[in-house]
Amino acid sequence: MRFPRNPAGRSSGVEFADGFRYGSGSRTQSRVKTPIDLDQAKLERVMKLTSLATRKDAIDFALTEAERSARVRALLKQGFFEGIGEEPIVDPRYDVLTLRDAEIPPGP
């Protein structure tokens, strides 16, 4: 969903499928001014691909995506059943075929 343009003619942000709105400082809790060298061509490609109007919005978007990616990698490193213990996950007495036969009504 595109947001209306502000009086200066710039887009006031973009909302993506993940429900987050990027732009206009909506994702920032504290502001830090830091002079950094950026790959200008890459920054412009990100702005074009994401329809973000300002460099600040594009950098905020990139940082958010990098954080999300790192969290997903950390979750994937964990074992799926980590912390459950040594007992079996499924009750050894569980027999799906017996349960299925019990659910089938008798024939005519």
Q: What is the pLDDT of residues 33-92, one digit of tens each?
A: 888 899 999 999 999 999 999 999 999 999 999 999 999 998 888 776 666 667 777 788
- CA end-to-end distance (rounded Å), the chain: 58
**Orientation angle between helical segments 55-77 and 40-50, nearest 10 degrees:** 80
Single pTM value for the model: 0.48
The amino acid that residue 19 corresponds to is G
Distance CA(60)–CA(55), nearest Å, equals: 9
Residue 29's alpha-carbon distances to 13, 56, 69, 92, 101, in angstroms, are: 16, 14, 20, 51, 58
Q: Where are the domains of the chain?
A: 1-83
